């Protein structure tokens, strides 16, 4: 019996100790692997940075389908050049005089489409760009221009501007380029017959000298009366060729909103503000407005509004997480005759 116990201690217990030591090593290695994996994932998936709350984070007035005459919360464009606010929505053309709302649709007017992409007031004439043609509206009657009754190459109208000669410049969605209409005659510019860099035109703006600038999906261009002078990421410091908005300040400086942030161009020098080198929260910029204070207001795709202080170069962010803004998706920002901001979003209109 004593001999059997001795044999058990000699063979069985050492074997058990060896297996136990192996098990401890396996557990230790496993714990190290788990710790390393957690550290690696923490590096690959950083926690979001908390955006501080601005001192003045309240938008004074918010208009949407529940508290106004808007038929749609999808606001595509706003013209605030007069005391009557003209609004392009996904469900018609709406006007607001400060008290009364009025909306024209395909059911109560001759609008060719309820989807309104842009609107522009030229003296007593309102130009309305729709998904199915261009409309000239004098307050009573509408004249509709399509590719079937004019030289418009396609019916999807995206942007409008008027030059110093009173000619209407029309930017179309991909395929149509730029059209110029003097009330009788049409001229069409495409990459096929001119130096226009792209058929997809997002914005058209007139500078302080009356010259026309065009934002496209392949850079932007200035029209010199005969040709387009093109600026893109190859021949200039422009960070991204997808340009959505062009805005001029009182010093004739051009501010460019693109998929690469906001770029400042004074005719010679370039400077870009992006999410990497400034307080801009995201590089997807859709609209830029210059305030009377010379501060810059930038509307982004998904991160709300960023306001740039021209004196101290600080950025202030307004988003749904730190303010009462209706949406983080900003389509257009304009300043009215009373120097109030009108902000078009995909969830109504905000004022500041």
The reply to whether 200 and 265 lie within a common domain is yes
Q: How far apart are CA 243 and CA 256, in angstroms?
A: 7
Output the domain CATH number for residue 330. Answer: 2.130.10.10
Query: Based on the structure, what is the number of domains in the chain?
Result: 2
Give the alpha-carbon dihedral of 304, 309, 315, 321, to 10 degrees: -40
Alpha-carbon distance of 175 to 83, in angstroms, equals 35
> Which residue segment(s) compose the domain that 235 sits in?
61-351
Residue 52 falls inside a structural domain: no
Taking the mean position of all CA atoms in its chain, how far away is CA 87?
A: 17
Q: Which CA distances in Å does 207 have to 138, 227, 288? A: 26, 16, 15
At 293 the pLDDT is: 86
102 in the same domain as 12 = no
CB 145 within 8 A of CB 137: no
Are residues 18 and 145 located together in one domain of the fold? no
Q: 129 and 27 share a domain?
A: no
Q: How far is CA 112 from the centre of its chain?
A: 26
Q: Could you tell me if 136 and 214 lie in one domain?
A: yes
Q: What is the pLDDT of residues 101-156, one digit of tens each?
A: 999 999 999 999 999 999 999 999 999 999 999 999 999 999 999 999 999 999 99
Which residue is associated with the tokens 């009173």? Answer: 166
286-308 residue pLDDT tens: 999 999 888 999 999 999 999 99
Residues 176 and 271 in one domain: yes
Q: How many residues does the chain have?
A: 352
pLDDT at 55: 52
What's the pLDDT band for 34 if we cut at 50, 70, 90?
A: very low
53 is a domain residue = no
Residues 39 and 68 in one domain: no
Q: Which of 333, 326, 346 is nearest to 306 (CA)?
A: 333
Q: Are residues 160 and 214 in the same domain?
A: yes
Clarify whether residues 137 and 191 are in a common domain.
Answer: yes
pLDDT value at residue 98: 95
The string of DSSP codes covering 74-118 is -EEEEE-SSSSEEEEETTEEEEE-SS-EEEE-TTTS--S-S-EEE
Burial 144-165 (b: 16+ CB within 10 A, else e): bbeeeeeebbbbbbbbbbbbee
Please tell me the predicted confidence (pLDDT) of residue 173. Answer: 86
């Amino acid at each position: 019996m004593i001999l059997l116990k001795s044999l058990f201690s000699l063979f069985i217990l050492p074997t058990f100790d060896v297996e136990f030591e192996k098990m401890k090593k396996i557990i230790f290695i496993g714990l190290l692997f788990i710790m390393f994996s957690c550290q690696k994932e923490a590096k690959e998936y950083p926690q979001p940075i908390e955006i501080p709350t601005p001192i003045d984070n309240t938008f004074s007035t918010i208009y949407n389908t529940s508290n106004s005459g808007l038929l749609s919360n999808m606001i595509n464009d706003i013209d605030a050049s007069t005391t009557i606010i003209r609004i392009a929505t996904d469900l018609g053309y709406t006007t607001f005089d400060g008290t009364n709302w009025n909306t024209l649709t395909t059911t109560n007017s001759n609008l060719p489409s309820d989807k309104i992409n842009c609107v522009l007031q030229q003296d007593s004439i309102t130009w309305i760009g729709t998904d199915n043609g261009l409309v000239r509206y004098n307050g009573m009657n509408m004249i509709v221009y399509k590719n079937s009754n004019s030289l418009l190459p396609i019916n999807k109208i995206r942007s409008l501007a008027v030059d110093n000669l009173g000619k209407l410049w029309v930017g179309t969605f991909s395929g149509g380029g730029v059209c110029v209409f003097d009330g009788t005659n049409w001229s069409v510019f495409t990459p096929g017959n001119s130096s226009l860099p792209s058929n997809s035109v997002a914005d058209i703006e007139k500078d302080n000298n009356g010259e026309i600038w065009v934002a496209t999906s392949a850079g932007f261009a200035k029209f010199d009366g005969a040709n387009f002078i093109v600026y893109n990421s190859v021949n200039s410091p422009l960070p991204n060729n997808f340009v959505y908005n062009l805005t001029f300040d009182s010093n004739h400086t051009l501010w460019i909103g693109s998929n690469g942030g906001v770029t400042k161009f004074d005719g010679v020098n370039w400077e870009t503000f992006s999410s990497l080198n400034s307080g801009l929260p995201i590089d997807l910029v859709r609209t830029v407005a210059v305030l009377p204070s010379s501060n810059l207001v930038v509307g982004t795709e998904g991160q709300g509004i960023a306001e740039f202080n021209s004196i101290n170069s600080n950025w202030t962010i307004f988003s749904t997480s730190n303010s009462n803004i209706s949406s983080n998706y900003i389509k257009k920002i304009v300043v009215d005759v009373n120097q109030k901001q009108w902000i078009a979003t995909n969830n109504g209109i905000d004022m500041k």
